[in-house]
Amino acid sequence: MIIATAGHIDHGKTSLIKALTGVETDRLPEERKRGLTIDLGFAYHDLGNGELTGFIDVPGHERFIRTMIAGAVGIDAVLFIIAADDGPMQQSAEHLAILELLGVVHGVVALTKIDRVSEERLAEVQRECRELFAVTSLSHVPIIPVSATENIGIDTLRTQLVSTVDGLPQRKKNGNFRLAVDRSFLLKGAGRIVTGTVFSGSVSVDDELCHVPFGSNLRVRSLHAQNTQADSAGPGQRAALNVVGARKSTSLIHRGDWMVSPLSAITATRLDIRIRVLGTADRPVINRIPVHVHIGAADVTGRLIVINGKSILPGESAYGHLILDNPIHTVKGDRVILRDQSARETLAGGYIVDVSPPVYRSRFSAARDIYLDALNQSSIVDSFSKLLSLSPVGLDLKVFGQNSNLTASELLDLQEKADNLLIVGELSHLGFDKKRWHALQGKILSAVKSIHEKQSGQATLSESHIGQQLDERIAPRIVKAVVDSLIAIGAIERVTGAIRLPTFKAKRSEVDERLWKRLEPLLSVDDFKVPVLHDLHTLLKIDLKILEAFLMRSAREGFLEKISKKRFLLPSSVVQLKDIALAVAAASLDGKFSVADFRNHSGIGRNAVVEILEYFDRIKFTYRDNEARKIIGK
């Protein structure tokens, strides 16, 4: 468990940590010289429950709010410190506001320096503290009077901290490994050390990690968890990783970066967030305001767009779209703090909802609100199901998994729980809502029927032609997948690479009808020994180019199947030949058959058999396995 201090400058945070743990957290010479905490300090101690509790000592000066936020993210509880002689001060209120926006709900208030005040003053400050905390997420926390110098109340505080720690909910151990870097330094004899809070997942020695936002790959040579050498570290622990890789890549690791598992190595310059303005704020947050964005230990500048409105009033919440000046790593649920352009005032806070939003368009703001409401469900199963139903052209499963920080196995488990999920083979990266998929099938089938009715002479269509008839834009690959699914159930068919209804017969010219009546009897033979192109030319006594054009036209219209440049068959003959191939394959022990096998069963010459089997390969009815073939279609 991790506990961070909070409170105004010079209220005794560092002294109290030392009294509790025996550790001096001011490690920098300047800190000790000035008696002022400048950077984060760390201490680890068994408070009496048999486990090491990590303490993060944050600076209280207003100039170091950025550092305070870096220390407060990802903590389990807060040790809020208020000096009895001063009472609540300016930074007390700001630290409290930040903690509330970070979602911290567990902690203890330590009322320090009580040896300097009277009982009346102590009672007065206690009342002020209760008033300060009354309307916040920490309104229920106990207030413990202490004196670090006189060792008054320290044991009581320690007991209360143990009770608080023991009552904390256990961190979930799901998700990919993510560590927010708050320190990076070189250790003689070891190399690069990075420390931070483990937000999710676990890491072990020899694991491969990715440094984001720079993207370099590193290996964990050794690690410490809660200041103790260990083989692994998990959520809710302070971890120090000794990482190795290219020297240039390790030298780029700084506070605000992340060490993550490769599957979670994503960055973004646009984020959709759920934002709340504190009720104590003196003015609303306006649209397109420049802000400092704090996520994890990072601080980047950017601009906030209010998705559906012109401002967010004090005490209200809304969705916002952040446009960042530099890429940052984050996932859904990470807490975010927004400060003003000069980084002097905390404006609002909230949490990440979407790490891969589209470019903001005001005319789509209402629809975006609906989408974010679906993504923002408390149950990930509900969120997944609702997003499927809202995604007419499919939900990218990988993007959803990365946004929600799901491991590969967690994403598969989620898919199994979604009753409305449909995954189409060639679009396996997308998930479709079953009802929406069936609606897409209906639209495309209606489009084919409509084209046939309007253009009765056009027997076959392309996917692009069909897509142009739809009332919404659908990616060509999705149109093709829907068409293939309709072909699989026999609702439509593909003839010579084009599409038509099985029952459709194109209107033919009188010339074509007369020629067809002469051609059809020549092809309607029981033994499949049909004349090839030049034989037909001789028998029909018509110009070869005219005959070839007519055969190709008849194939496009579905009257014939083009087997090769010189061989055409009736569709009914092709069906019979497929049945023969199925029977030959079924009679084989391994499901394979040769050219000779097919020739013996069909009674056709070898040259014709080779052309027919190559045609079957092209239409993916069979595939060639060395000198044999296997059936891959029905």
Q: What CATH number does the domain containing 561 carry? A: 1.10.10.2770
- Computed over every residue of the chain, the mean pLDDT equals 88
Rounded CA-CA distance 323/327 in Å is 10
Rounded CA-CA distance 432/411 in Å is 15
Please identify which residue in the block is written with the tokens 């033979």.
525
- Packing angle, helices 119-133 and 90-101, rounded to 10: 40
Rounded CA-CA distance 3/107 in Å is 8
In tens, the pLDDT along 56-99 reads 887 755 555 767 777 677 788 999 999 999 999 988 988 898 88
Domain that holds residue 336: 268-367
The reply to whether 314 and 401 lie within a common domain is no
Numbers of helices and strands, H then E, in the chain? 20, 33
Question: What pLDDT sits at residue 437?
Answer: 92
Q: Is residue 372 part of a domain?
A: no
Given a cut of 90, is residue 12 above it in pLDDT? no
Given a cut of 50, is residue 33 above it in pLDDT? no
The reply to whether 418 and 561 lie within a common domain is no
The reply to whether 492 and 525 lie within a common domain is no
Given a cut of 90, is residue 610 above it in pLDDT? yes
Given a cut of 50, is residue 36 above it in pLDDT? no
Q: Is residue 172 part of a domain?
A: no
Q: Using 50, 70 and 90 to split pLDDT, how confident is the model at 110?
A: very high
Report the phi/psi class of residue 496: left, alpha or beta, with left for phi > 0 and alpha for psi in -120 to 50.
Answer: left
The reply to whether 318 and 385 lie within a common domain is no
Q: What is the pTM of this model?
A: 0.78
In tens, the pLDDT along 294-321 reads 998 899 999 999 998 899 999 999 999 9
The reply to whether 237 and 329 lie within a common domain is no
In tens, the pLDDT along 245-270 reads 877 677 889 989 999 999 999 999 99
Lowest pLDDT segment from 205-214, 249-258, 344-353, 495-504? 495-504
Domain-ending residue, one of 336, 367, 398: 367
- Residue 571 contacts by C-beta under 8 Å, 6 or more apart in sequence? 558, 559, 560, 561
Domain-ending residue, one of 367, 391, 416: 367
The reply to whether 431 and 520 lie within a common domain is no
In tens, the pLDDT along 323-380 reads 999 999 999 999 999 998 887 888 999 999 999 999 998 888 888 999 999 999 989 9
Alpha carbon 488 to chain centroid, angstroms: 32
CATH code of residue 290: 2.40.30.10
- More confident site: 507 or 334: 334
- For residues 539-568, give the mean pLDDT: 89
Q: Is residue 313 part of a domain?
A: yes
Closest Cα to residue 554, out of 493, 626, 602, 506? Answer: 506
Lowest pLDDT segment from 36-45, 324-333, 605-614? 36-45
Question: What pLDDT sits at residue 592?
Answer: 92
Lowest pLDDT segment from 404-413, 430-439, 455-464? 455-464
Q: Is residue 173 part of a domain?
A: no
Q: Using 50, 70 and 90 to split pLDDT, how confident is the model at 458?
A: low
The reply to whether 603 and 478 lie within a common domain is no
Q: Is residue 624 part of a domain?
A: yes
State which amino acid sits at residue 605: G
Q: Is residue 171 part of a domain?
A: no
Rounded CA-CA distance 188/186 in Å is 6
The reply to whether 394 and 419 lie within a common domain is yes
Question: What pLDDT sits at residue 63?
Answer: 56
Q: Is residue 8 part of a domain?
A: yes
Q: Strand ranges (DSSP E) for 483-536? A: 493-495, 498-500
Q: Is residue 620 part of a domain?
A: yes
Question: What pLDDT sits at residue 32?
Answer: 46
- Residue 449 contacts by C-beta under 8 Å, 6 or more apart in sequence? 501
Percent of the chain with pLDDT over 90: 55
Domain-ending residue, one of 346, 367, 388: 367
CATH code of residue 601: 1.10.10.10
Percent of the chain with pLDDT over 70: 94
Find the Cα–Cα–Cα–Cα dihedral 130, 134, 139, 144, rounded to 10°: 0
DSSP state of 571: H
Rounded CA-CA distance 387/158 in Å is 47
Rounded CA-CA distance 473/596 in Å is 49
Report the phi/psi class of residue 105: left, alpha or beta, with left for phi > 0 and alpha for psi in -120 to 50.
Answer: alpha
State which amino acid sits at residue 91: Q
The reply to whether 480 and 525 lie within a common domain is no
The reply to whether 60 and 154 lie within a common domain is yes
The reply to whether 33 and 125 lie within a common domain is yes
Question: What pLDDT sits at residue 464?
Answer: 80
The reply to whether 77 and 140 lie within a common domain is yes
Closest Cα to residue 107, out of 65, 132, 143? Answer: 143
Number of domains in the chain: 6
In tens, the pLDDT along 591-601 reads 999 999 999 99
